[in-house]
Amino acid sequence: MSPDEFLPTLKTRFPEVEFQLDPLNPRALKMSASGVPEVFAWLRDAPEAAMEFLEFSTAVDHPPDRLELVYSLYSYTHRHRLVLKVDLPRHAPTIPTLAHLWQNADWNEREIYDLFGVFFSGHPDLRRLMMPEDWEGHPLRKDYSHPNLTPRPD
């Protein structure tokens, strides 16, 4: 199924969650943060979706006010992919965790927390993954600066 086929099904099942097609990525759907664990649980368990494989989740920083979370799901059963994108406020990004649905969401979310500063509520062990525990700041944010970071001369 492609995203435009998913769209009506998802809209009827989750009327309180906003979905829309993404003009930039033909395989992506944008959704609001309110429905995160439920929609993903359905995508994983429903036979017509059967997204048993969370390929990756990551974030994209859009200063000044937006931080976009990207989840890529794949189904080996139906061989289809769905990318879901969630916009969060950049100053205080919080979103429910998916660690109970896919095991590898655990580390993916820790990485996002580490590098982007997104807080995942309900995560079993939200610590920095890549950087040392006492590191300050979130390096992959666009406005990050650090004494050790020498920007590349153009």
Q: Is 8 left (phi over 0), alpha (psi -120 to 50) or beta?
A: alpha
Shortest separation between residue 16's beta carbon and another protein, angstroms = 27
For another protein, the closer of residues 60 and 92 by Cβ is 60
Other CB atoms closer than 10 Å to residue 145's CB: what's the count?
Answer: 10
Which SS3 state, helix, strand or coil, does residue 45 take?
helix
Binding site for another protein (CB under 8 A): 24-25, 27-28, 52-56, 58, 60-61, 70, 72, 76, 79, 81, 83, 102-104, 106-107, 115, 128-132, 139-140, 144, 146, 148-153
* End-to-end CA gap in the chain: 43
Shortest separation between residue 76's beta carbon and another protein, angstroms = 6
Cβ 43 vs Cβ 57: under 8 Å: no
Shortest separation between residue 108's beta carbon and another protein, angstroms = 8
For another protein, the closer of residues 12 and 103 by Cβ is 103
For another protein, the closer of residues 17 and 141 by Cβ is 141
C-alpha span between 10 and 44 (Å, rounded): 13
